[in-house]
Amino acid sequence: MPEIRLPDGSTKRFPAPVTAAEIAAALGAGLQRAALAAEIDGRPVDLSHRIEHDAAVRILTRRDPEGLEIIRHSTAHLLAQAVKRLYPAAQVTIGPVIEDGFYYDFHYPPGFNQDDLAALEAEMQRLVKAALPVEREVLGRDDAVRLFRDLGENYKAEIITAIPTGEAISLYRQGEFVDLCRGPHVPDTGRLGAFKLMRVAGAYWRGDSRNEMLQRIYGTAFADKKALTEHLERLAEAEKRDHRRLGRQLDLFHMQEEAPGMVFWHPPGWTLWRLVEQFMRRVYRAGGYQEVRCPQILDVSLWRRSGHWDNYQENMFFTQSENREYAVKPMNCPGHVQIYNHTLRSYRELPLRYGEFGSCHRNEPSGALHGLMRVRAFTQDDGHIFCMPEQIASEVAAFHRQAIAVYAAFGFADVAVKLALRPEKRLGDDAVWDKAEQALREALAGCGVSCEELPGEGAFYGPKIEYHLRDSLGRPWQLGTMQVDFMMPDRLGAAYVAEDNTRPVPVMLHRAIVGSMERFIGILIEHHGGDLPAWLAPCQVRVMNITDSQADYVREVVADLRARGMRAAADLRNEKIGYKIREAALARIPWLLIAGEREKAHGDVAVRRRGGQDLGAMPFAECTALLAAECAAPSFEPDQESHPSLQ
């Protein structure tokens, strides 16, 4: 008589072994209809799973995140069945769940194209209408290999040979189709239907470029049609906001094959880049940082001592000169330690804060490059703090205040804080990592910040606090970091004279708020959809005439605005004013000033705000006051706790 413990704390006894489906039925007809799978003592299982002992049971429906994952995985199988029906020569390989959907890889030398997806979707919908039962079975290793070889599915047979001996080999059947899978799955194909096949791509078998190329079909699936529609609408909006598209439209930057992963900044884009840099430079000063500059290439001996050679060399570029090997720096921290080490330091100097807009290069795989979001050459708002252990908490707190204020200034209000813990490949022993991780936990607790912990995602030299921002489309982006490092200063010989005249090693805190400037600008463009706040717009004001007789007046207005520190430009082309206004709107100019004969005679301008808002004519002096307030960059006050002398 198994006793079943339910999520609400209640229990239910059954007179004999019971399936998860029978438990759902006993709990009500509504749950029976909605049930997709179950969790038994925290382990996901099919509804057909038989329970013979006391257990904690949770019935999973499409409303549960776990239920949605099961829907997506089952839809991947549905796609594979549709492919086998329409293209019998195709071999199936793997089809995992990914964020917002799934993909399935096939060996099919003729290849698929985008036009094939409509027919596949139609076949998938026919399979949904058929409501084919999805049934699990377990086979021995030899029988499973024989089954798939007989079916001509050599990739599945190869996967089975890699499964550890003793592990159950489970298969799922739906109609004529059989697939190797751990499960669980929906009980029948009729539970599916809210899906869309998105695109076709290439992928190497097992991700190895030495293996054969496979055909990958990406899809998305949701709990219901409404959620799917909302997702597709978000994707359409994201495509409109794509920073690569807007970069071309707004003449910000371009990239080309001769410099993969490296950016050619055009004048408007470089203006934007410098505006972000200048703001972050004020942040440096407000936080008590001293700006430094380090060489681009350093002898590999330094990278060996720092630990990068053993843990990061596959991501580095190298060069040689006069029989010496150098590395192009992938990060700035070893150089900052060299500046720290240049003279003997006292505990009275600590904390010592260095900041650098350091240009770095990382040898990212060509297939991973993506506009400004993933590049090989980038600049960081990089900083390093050398401090004593007892100063960690106050430095982390000051950084946290800074980071939140910066994100707010750029228009990001939804910020989550996470703590990335020791990775498998790392420097140092567990005692040092215990100390470093606990230091960050205590520092965050002192800030009143609760955070999610991410096991295995820290840097090789230390754990880190991560700042994850959500943009206007709800997409998460990981930006700022604060990392505590007990190891690199020691490896590179850093020390300070303590009050008792000993020579302890300082703690090194690695910090960045926006991280890669290039990536941050890409995120910023997409977050605002190209309509950058006026203080960040490369051109804040465009002034235009109606006829040639106002040209000199427009030049005077532009000169006055520039003298007041605004980025203004004149449009004196011999074009109709409606055309000029439309072009300025496409260029996302925040403010348009129009001068006709009447405005010229009275010293006025007609004012339009981006988005089509017409403010009418007003005296130019009144207009300048409005523009000055709208176009000014946010102020950033010194952190009083970081500058005791200011208190």
366-368-370-372 Cα dihedral, nearest 10 degrees: -90
HSE, side-chain direction, 13 A CA sphere, residue 190 = 9
Q: Smallest Cα–Cα separation from 145: which of 157, 159, 158?
A: 157
Give residues with Cβ within 8 angstroms of 33, minimum separation 6: none
- Distance between CA 467 and CA 159 in Å, rounded? 38
Residue 628's SS3 state is helix
- Distance between CA 567 and CA 619 in Å, rounded? 20
Q: What angle do CA 39, 51, 57 make, to 5 degrees?
A: 30
- Distance between CA 569 and CA 352 in Å, rounded? 43
Q: Which residues are catalytic?
A: 333, 362, 380, 382, 384, 464, 510
Residue carrying the six token digits 């993506």: 370
Kindly report the backbone phi and psi dihedral angles of residue 240, in degrees, each rounded to the nearest multiple of 5, phi listed first. Answer: -60, -35
What is the gyration radius of the CA atoms in the chain, in angstroms? Answer: 30
Q: What angle do CA 592, 596, 599 make, to 5 degrees?
A: 85
The string over 463-493, giving b where at least 16 C-beta atoms fall within 10 Å of a residue's C-beta and e elsewhere, is bbbbbebebeeeeebbbbbbbbbbbbbbbbe
The dihedral built from the CA positions of residue 521, 522, 525 and 527, taken in this order, carries a sign that is negative
- Distance between CA 343 and CA 349 in Å, rounded? 12
